Structure 1
Amino acid sequence: MAAHAQGSLFDQTDEIRLGPLTGVRRTVLGDGAWIDLLPGWLGGADALHEELASGVPWRAERRRMYEREVAVPRLLAYYGERDGTPDTLPHPVLDEARDALSAHYTEELGEPFVTAGLCYYRDGRDGVAWHGDRTGRGSSEDTMVAILSVGAPRDLVLRPRHRHGSVVRRPFGHGDLIVMGGSCQRTWEHAVPKTARAVGARISVQFRPRGVR
């Protein structure tokens, strides 16, 4: 099931490790929304991609669209919590990342990151359409979603929900981190567009607080 990821010229270590979060840079989007960016937060990201691609119990899903069932164009995995304890993630560095993000944003977020959803984009035919994480509390409350990307870069595109304003486009992969905060899930939408370009595989790990999907 594993697909090939194009290696980064700047990630030449197999040691899988996190860097500090002190280099995070914030961009204010408007309407109370913002994003924090930290390129290359995870070292050894290409090695982690290979481990996740072969080791995670990926599942393919189908959904109903226009009166027929279609395949969801990516593979998925989800790690929630049991009896109030977050599930152990498929690599120790992801548990470390969840703890580090919770500690860094605790004052602003007011709660820890608990769940982790993984998406496996095998090539340019995989993607995700425009959406906001508005299932649960994200539909009515400011919250945060932190995304760690490993593997080949893919564009993450953000636009205002009512489409009056500039579109933000950033390539993410090779250990890059983006945190979408404030009203971002309610007032903005994001997508990973499909592409006809030759692109390698990418895995994104989305850390969320309890009750946000």
Structure 2
Amino acid sequence: MDFQSTLFAPSASAALSFAGVERHELTRGAWVDVARGWLPEPDDVFETLVRDVPWRADRRQMYDRIVDVPRLLHTYMIGEELPHARLTEARDALSAHYAEELGEPFRTAGCCYYRDGRDSVAWHGDTIGRGKTTDTMVAIVSVGDPRRLHLRPRLGGAEPVVLEMGHGDLVTMGGSCQRTWEHAVPKVAHAGPRISVQFRPFNVF
């Protein structure tokens, strides 16, 4: 790994706070919340995830051929213990903070390991399950090298949005975002390793 840890990350004694959250209103009822440096101990979380998550490489059908998924994956399902206590705290804090808007807790944690700039995720929305027809949320905690999250409206009519996800940052996509906007993490020429943890409610993929 060539990821360099930061001297400015939250300390181990820091509490999860939503005081610095900035909400970006999009269109058609979609919004994105951003909290910089939100996760305490991001260096330790990153190292633990690299070491302890049972990463797998997937292959998927694309048109007339089978291709490698350009990132490593693992999902912690309902009831499964997360690999770091800070992630358990994060899930519980997110559930409490968004309880009124979301109406239910975050239940699963999908993990993506972007090993370098060649790893990516194509344009998509989390529209398998309830996200296809109803408002929901996906909260992303990012650790490792910064990467850019691109968002664009499915039907046009608004400018695309680009958000840099840094070490320990939180990005929450809410409202109609999954069905009225798409998001992607494109390939870049140079990037160190990064891991994203996506907290979702039940039956949102």
TM, length-normalised to structure 1 = 0.92
CA RMSD of aligned residues (A): 1.4
**2:181 aligned residue:** 188
Is contact 1:16-1:45 (8 Å) kept?
no
Whether 2:172 is the aligned partner of 1:174: answer: no
**1:209 aligned residue:** 201
1:92-135 per-residue CA deviation (whole Å, 9 max, x = no partner) reads 11111110000001011000000110000000000000000000
Whether 2:37 is the aligned partner of 1:57: answer: no
Is contact 2:10-2:38 (8 Å) kept?
no
- Any stretches of 5+ residues in structure 2 without a counterpart? none
CA distance 1:16–1:182, shift in 2 (3 Å): same
**1:4 aligned residue:** 2
Shift of 1:9: 4.6
1:54-74 per-residue CA deviation (whole Å, 9 max, x = no partner) reads 111000000011211110000
**2:134 aligned residue:** 141
Whether 2:28 is the aligned partner of 1:36: answer: no
What is the percent sequence identity of the aligned residues? 60
Q: Identify which of 78, 96, 107 aligns with 1:103.
A: 96
Q: Give the whole-Å Cα distance in 1 for the aligned partners of 2:13 and 2:195.
A: 15
Aligned residues: 205
**2:70 aligned residue:** 73
CA distance 1:74–1:18, shift in 2 (3 Å): farther
TM, length-normalised to structure 2 = 0.95
Aligned structure 1 segments of 4 or more residues deviating by more than 6 angstroms: none
Shift of 1:18: 4.5
